[in-house]
Amino acid sequence: MKHTRTPRGCVYRPSRGAGKRKSRFYWAKYIDARGKPQRHALKLPTGAGVSDKDVASKMLAGIVKRVERESAGLVDKAIESASVPIRKVLAEALRHLRRRRCSRKYIRQIRVYAKRVIDKSGMVRLADFSAERINQTLNVIEDDGRAARTVNAYREACYAVGAWTVKPGGLLEVNPVDDVETRAGEMTKERRALEAGQAQVLLGVCGRRRAYYLTALFTGYRVSEVKALHWEHVHLSGDRPFVQLPLRETKRRRTRLSQRTMTDTELPLHPDVAAVLAAMKPPDAAPGERVFKSIPKLDTFKRDLERAGIPLADELGRTLDRHALRTTFVSWLGRYGVDPRAQIMLARHTPQGVTLRNYQDFRLFDLWAEICKLPSLLTEPEAMQATGTYDATCGPGVVPLSGSDCRDMALIGEKGRLSQGGRRQHIASGAGAKSMSHSELATTGEANEQIGATGFEPATSASRTQHSSQTELRPAQLRYPVWGFLTVEC
């Protein structure tokens, strides 16, 4: 290989292998200002390779001159690299993130957000990548109604690109985004939770997406976490089914040993979810096969809400989206009397405070009993109509039972049974379900003491109802607090 030598480098055409043809384009080999050998292809401003030897030699001379000036401290990197195309800088920054094996989601976010800032500001060269121009573009994005968190996400994407220009890119001395302040503001989007009745109607109109909504409602998994579920993570055998999602698939991806709880590895499944997943699991399902082939998009979720007659926003401006299913799960944990410490575990949040963080062994809690306090949503439409759920004018009344009453009460008979654990069981005789009359219910000796006039609002563990032996039963749609419905004739 014949080289054209200069005091600090040479140009050459590399061969593609032993005995193969040489490349048409020239490369440069030289020693940089730090004393490290560098070797790369020579490119014209248009991005095309250099096939002329004299042009390659002249370009190498300019590189060597810049290296010598940089070694002497006479080079301003910002001036020298001002003409570098900003698109090339972005491409090199993304390539660096891939070499560092960053997640695809993170790389995609950097690419989309940084490219959007570049397009909105009209940047062409690296000289345009300044703090003033980035700040003006972020102000425009903020004026479009974006929340402070979203604007800060755009800033972080630009910061990642600017960090590459400093190191390892070596194009700038400092990151221009350092002078761009982060935005601070109040939360502009507030989510609300679904009520149990609304969730039942939603599950009745969503079709094949029913399993996804039910899983999100009773596990609190985020959209990405439900999407990452494989059949090897779902354990349906045994009396207490659970799901075991690896930490790398969760939002935290890792946890410290002092904060590790049982729910970092496994989460108990509500009986409704276990029944639905067991029914939809293929007989020949592979362990690495995804549980949900597709995840409903936001527009699909909005259409399902419209079919169910559920408004997207309420009178206070609180909205519903797919993440609101997690909000519903956490809200139900508090609504139906789940222990506050168990709520932290089931929601997979980091315990706050020294007492909860360092002096609590969360493995002592029976999470299965806590998750079973949530209501059942798998009520057939016929049974719901028979109890007056959809029509308040037909069917018998619905009487709610509080959580403590369910645990203390046991109704045993041929027509119905409520176990000591508090779990609702359907009252059935023969082929169809029948309702117990008020006189039959009163024969138990405890019914009148357990029934309270709760009205239309459900009873919680924090606000106990006033029990009375002379309670007027209302045929209205009363929501059950923990386990389910106990139907009586009015």
Cα–Cα separations (whole angstroms), residue 277 to 112, 206, 221, 282: 36, 16, 15, 10
Q: Is the pLDDT of residue 164 over 50?
A: yes
Residue 189 lies in a domain: no
What mean pLDDT comes out for the span 185-202? Answer: 84
What mean pLDDT comes out for the span 19-30? Answer: 86
Q: Is residue 125 domain-shared with residue 69, that is, in the same domain?
A: no
Q: What per-residue confidence (pLDDT) applies to 158?
A: 95
Cα–Cα separations (whole angstroms), residue 276 to 205, 208, 209, 314, 386: 16, 11, 12, 31, 23
Q: Is residue 261 domain-shared with residue 323, that is, in the same domain?
A: yes
pTM of the entire predicted model: 0.51
Residue 190 lies in a domain: no
Query: Closest by alpha carbon to 486, among 460, 463, 444, 469?
Result: 444
Place of tokens 């005995």: 19
Q: Is residue 255 domain-shared with residue 283, that is, in the same domain?
A: yes
Left (φ > 0), alpha (ψ -120 to 50) or beta: where does 14 sit? beta
Residue 151 lies in a domain: yes
Residue 314 lies in a domain: yes
Q: Is residue 212 domain-shared with residue 332, that is, in the same domain?
A: yes
Token representation of residue 132: 């003033």
Query: Closest by alpha carbon to 374, among 331, 327, 336?
Result: 336
- Domain of 21, in residue numbers: 4-75
d(CA 210, CA 212): 5
Confidence of residue 21 (pLDDT cuts 50, 70, 90): confident
Q: What per-residue confidence (pLDDT) applies to 395?
A: 33
Q: Where are the beta strands (DSSP E) in 365-427?
A: 397-399, 411-412, 417-418
Residue 185 lies in a domain: no
What mean pLDDT comes out for the span 102-112? Answer: 92
Confidence of residue 108 (pLDDT cuts 50, 70, 90): very high
Task: Report the percent of the chain where pLDDT is more than 90.
Answer: 37
CB < 8 Å & 24+ apart, contacts of 151-158: 151/183, 152/182, 152/183, 153/109, 153/113, 154/113, 154/116, 154/117, 155/180, 155/182, 155/183, 156/113, 157/109, 157/110, 157/112, 157/113, 157/114, 157/117, 158/113, 158/114, 158/117, 158/134
Q: Is residue 352 domain-shared with residue 484, that is, in the same domain?
A: no
Supply the CATH number for residue 163's domain.
1.10.150
Q: Is the pLDDT of residue 194 over 80?
A: yes
| pLDDT, greater one: 74 or 13 | 13
Q: Which of 371, 391, 426 is the last residue of a domain?
A: 371
* H or E stretch covering 114: helix 104-121
Answer whether 219's CB lies under 8 Å from 208's CB: no
CB < 8 Å & 24+ apart, contacts of 251-255: 251/222, 251/224, 251/225, 252/348
Residue 80 lies in a domain: no
Q: Is residue 204 domain-shared with residue 335, that is, in the same domain?
A: yes
Q: Tens digits of per-residue pLDDT, 225-255?
A: 999 999 999 999 888 999 988 877 776 655 4
Q: Is residue 133 domain-shared with residue 172, that is, in the same domain?
A: yes
Q: Is residue 201 domain-shared with residue 340, that is, in the same domain?
A: yes
Residue 465 lies in a domain: yes
Out of 121-125, 366-370, 439-443, give the one with best mean pLDDT: 121-125
Q: What per-residue confidence (pLDDT) applies to 146?
A: 87
Q: What per-residue confidence (pLDDT) applies to 63?
A: 86
Q: Is the pLDDT of residue 172 over 80?
A: yes
Confidence of residue 382 (pLDDT cuts 50, 70, 90): very low
Q: What per-residue confidence (pLDDT) applies to 335?
A: 87
Helix axes 210-219, 271-280, angle to 10 degrees: 150
Q: What per-residue confidence (pLDDT) applies to 479?
A: 36
Q: What per-residue confidence (pLDDT) applies to 187?
A: 62
d(CA 454, CA 465): 7
Q: Is residue 65 domain-shared with residue 35, that is, in the same domain?
A: yes
Residue 184 lies in a domain: no
Across the chain, which distance is largest between two alpha carbons, in Å? Answer: 108
* H or E stretch covering 242: strand 242-243
Q: Tens digits of per-residue pLDDT, 265-295?
A: 688 999 999 999 999 999 999 999 999 999 9
Q: Is residue 249 domain-shared with residue 273, that is, in the same domain?
A: yes
**Number of domains comprising the chain:** 4
Confidence of residue 360 (pLDDT cuts 50, 70, 90): low
Q: Is the pLDDT of residue 169 over 50?
A: yes
Q: Is the pLDDT of residue 162 over 60?
A: yes
Q: Is the pLDDT of residue 305 over 90?
A: yes
Confidence of residue 304 (pLDDT cuts 50, 70, 90): very high
d(CA 487, CA 440): 12
Confidence of residue 482 (pLDDT cuts 50, 70, 90): very low
Tell me the pLDDT of the chain averaged across its residues.
Answer: 74
d(CA 271, CA 376): 8
Q: Is residue 135 domain-shared with residue 263, that is, in the same domain?
A: no
Q: Which of 48, 75, 102 is the last residue of a domain?
A: 75
Q: Which of 351, 371, 391 is the last residue of a domain?
A: 371
Q: Tens digits of per-residue pLDDT, 325-344?
A: 999 999 999 888 888 888 88
Q: Is residue 350 domain-shared with residue 207, that is, in the same domain?
A: yes
User: How close are the terminal C-alpha atoms of the chain, in Å?
Assistant: 101
